[in-house]
Amino acid sequence: MNCDELEPLLLEFVSGELVIAVRETVDVHVTGCAHCEALLISYRHTVRVAAALPKCAALPAALEARLRKALADQMGEGEDCR
């Protein structure tokens, strides 16, 4: 295996989808190749930092107010007879 052959396998390597024989070939190459070792570490870290991003960070105050008003308007439809 050379460096160009390794790169397209990274996705399946980090998600553990590769068959054992291929995974071992990747392991052997990475152990002896500083370039691919650095690539693998940085690829894996890229995946991890994305997973660590906040997924429900608080709404901006102005948006929260706007949404509450829209909700109230919708729920009040047909009930307010002024």
Partner 1 sequence: MVAPLPEKLTPEQVFREHAPRIYNLARRMLGNDADAEDVTQDVLLQVVRKLDTFRGDAQLTTWLHRVTVNAALALRQKRANRQKHEAGEAVDEVLDRAAPTGTVKRWDVPPDEPVLAAEQHELIDRAIGELPDMYRDVFVLADVQGLDNAEIGELLNLSVPAVKSRLHRARMRMRDLLAPHFEAEDAP
Contacts with Zn ion by CB under 5 A lie at 3, 33, 35-36
Residues that bind partner 1 (CB under 8 A): 4, 7-8, 10-12, 34-36, 38-39, 41-43, 45-60, 63-64, 66-68, 70-71, 74-75
| Interacting partner of 31 out of Zn ion, partner 1, none (Cβ under 5 to 8 A depending on kind) | none
Rounded Cα gap, residues 24 and 30, in angstroms: 10
CB of 52 to partner 1, least distance (A): 5
CB nearer Zn ion, residue 37 or residue 73: 37
Rounded Cα gap, residues 12 and 23, in angstroms: 9
Contact assessment for residue 26 and residue 6, using Cβ atoms and an 8 Å cutoff: yes
Rounded Cα gap, residues 4 and 24, in angstroms: 17
